[in-house]
């Protein structure tokens, strides 16, 4: 006899994931954990409506640029993952979304550090929403800020995304 599938809202699914309480029958309409987050070792550590905190252990010997610091693209990817997770907490079952703008400001270099990306909605519109992500290092000092505009897709436009 097969187990009954539990279709959960994204936020409920992620809360169970963080708590380590997901069952094999728990599902949501979005893919979690995402393939890129698994590849890069990102961890969702906090979640709330329109808000997410994602952590990452950066290592310049693995994630470095030609100057020997963590590549800015890694910071942007971390922020994008946090922003996407924050947005997904508000997504309905027939909705998806896509970034339409992303702007990064780099504040200080990083070598080997646990980074914390905190993303939250600054404006939640019906079609276009705005998010801010603040990346800090272990001592709480800011590393980068990333602002993004995200467009909500519905119906046929959301299928397959």
CATH of the domain spanning 6-158: 3.10.129.10
* High-pLDDT (> 70) share of the chain, %: 93
Q: What is the pLDDT of residue 95?
A: 85
**Domain map (residue ranges) of the chain:** 6-158
| Rounded-to-integer distance, Cα 153 and Cα 161, Å | 9
Alpha carbons within 13 angstroms on the beta-carbon side of residue 76 total 11
| Rounded-to-integer distance, Cα 89 and Cα 97, Å | 11
Alpha carbons within 13 angstroms on the beta-carbon side of residue 61 total 1
- Quote the pTM value: 0.92
**Of 81, 80, 142, 84, whose CA–CA distance to 113 is shortest?**
142
Predicted confidence band of residue 3 (pLDDT cuts 50, 70, 90): low
Asked whether the predicted pLDDT for residue 120 surpasses 90, the reply is yes
- Asked whether 89 and 73 are in contact (CB, 8 A), the reply is no
Q: What is the pLDDT of residue 159?
A: 67
Asked whether the predicted pLDDT for residue 63 surpasses 60, the reply is yes
């Amino acid at each position: 006899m097969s187990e009954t599938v539990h279709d959960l809202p994204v936020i409920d699914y992620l809360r169970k994931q963080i708590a380590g309480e997901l069952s094999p029958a728990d599902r949501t309409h979005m893919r979690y954990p995402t393939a890129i987050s698994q590849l890069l070792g990102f961890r969702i550590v906090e979640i709330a409506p329109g808000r997410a905190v994602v952590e990452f252990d950066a290592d310049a010997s693995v994630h470095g640029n030609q100057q020997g610091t963590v590549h800015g693209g890694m910071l942007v990817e971390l922020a994008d993952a946090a922003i996407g997770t924050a947005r997904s907490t508000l997504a309905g079952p027939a909705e998806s979304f896509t970034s339409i703008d992303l702007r990064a400001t780099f504040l200080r270099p990083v070598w080997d550090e646990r980074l914390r990306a905190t993303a939250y909605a600054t404006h939640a519109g019906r079609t276009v929403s705005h998010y801010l992500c603040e990346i800090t290092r272990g001592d709480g000092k800011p590393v980068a800020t990333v602002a993004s505009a995200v467009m909500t897709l519905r119906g046929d436009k959301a299928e397959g995304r």
